[in-house]
Amino acid sequence: MKTLFDEIRIGSLVARNRLWRAATWLNMADDKGHLTARLEKVYLDLAKGGVGTIITGYANVLEEEQPNPRMLGIYNDSFIAEYLDFTKKIKAEGANIVMQIAYGGSFTAFQPDSREIWGPSPVPHPLTKVIPTEMSQDNINTLISAFALASARVKASGFDGVELHAAHSYLLSQFLSPYYNQRTDQYGGPIENRARIVIEVLDAVRKEVGADYPVFIKMHCTDDWADKGLTEDESLYVAQELEKRGIAAIEFSGGNLDDEEYPNMGPGRKGILKVEKQSYFAEATARIAEQLKVPVISVGGHRTPDKLEGILNSTKIECFSLSRVLHSEPDIINRWQKDKTAKPRCLSCNKCWDKNGNICILIREPIMGSHVSM
């Protein structure tokens, strides 16, 4: 019988358990995306807290494209030396560290009027209302190259793998969605075309990092958005194509950010303290996993070990990513290893976000004397 605390291997990555820290923007890097002591401490606390593998908050692959303030960067070689030191510290605590890389696109409220924001089509984002510039072929080529070069820096920096962010209505996931992607060229229309850029990014990344370096992707099992979004069948198609091209594992999230028509249907859903409301993408993810050979990681509302072990032993899902519960208690994995019935402090209230750093509201303290609204 499988348990959450089995040692697992995915390619060259060996993890002490099946529990991952899902990528989470912490708003603690400096203005250029470099590490700070405060940010390092968050990741070190996670490593000491027992999680098997940490996926960093997303890092921008192009300097001029920064969807959120004080996010990590990986857009030039100046990051490599500091990340080498950082990854050594994390590994010394027994955890793996994977860097997530991304192009944000129109899912941004950070200085949208002062920069050109690319998108598959000039369609307003349902949450931010930002309308991007439709990408030309030259733009697409630039982006593919940026992902590949960033991945090479991730490898050179000592990370155990790189994860491509193709979820949560950031740019790569927008290409997969018929709502955002209304193109009529080779990158639009049927899913075979809408998935083209994601496949080309993976191919370019593989050429830079080699066949054996772990390359992961975060994508949706479904957008839960009727005919506006990526469907489960389309997700399966994309996953199978990525599998053919050497993806190491796939982390499945889901949902949409159309709060007006589909409230609380995004990736971080509120009101999930009852067990039956948790792990809300697991069923769709399990159906896709059944038809894949690569390991599948499920993310979305995981907070009860007994439920997770039930999923683990009844489906082909191999690992679970958690964000909000670890955001509140970085040592909850150690607690669960001693007592699987331990209840998380996290209330899934989604009040983690603050201008002084994204910290759980239950432990937030004022920074530098500033008032923090509770």
Six-digit token pair at 77?
A: 């070689």
Q: Is the pLDDT of residue 369 over 80?
A: no
Six-digit token pair at 314?
A: 């009844």
Distance (Å) of CA 125 to CA 97, 101, 167, 210: 31, 21, 14, 35
Binned at pLDDT 50, 70 and 90, residue 374 comes out as: very low
Q: What is the mean pLDDT of the chain?
A: 96
| pTM beyond 0.75 | yes
3-state secondary structure of 183: coil
The structural domains of the chain, ordered by start, are 8-338 (3.20.20.70)
More reliable by pLDDT, 130 or 371: 130
Query: For residue range 83-101, what is the model confidence (pLDDT) as tens digits?
Result: 999 999 999 999 999 999 9
User: What is the pLDDT, as a whole number, of residue 365?
Assistant: 60
Average confidence (pLDDT) over 181-206: 98
Query: For residue range 210-263, what is the model confidence (pLDDT) as tens digits?
Result: 999 999 999 999 999 999 999 999 999 999 999 999 999 999 999 999 999 999
Q: Residue 44 and residue 41: Cα distance in Å, rounded?
A: 5
Q: Residue 22 and residue 198: Cα distance in Å, rounded?
A: 20
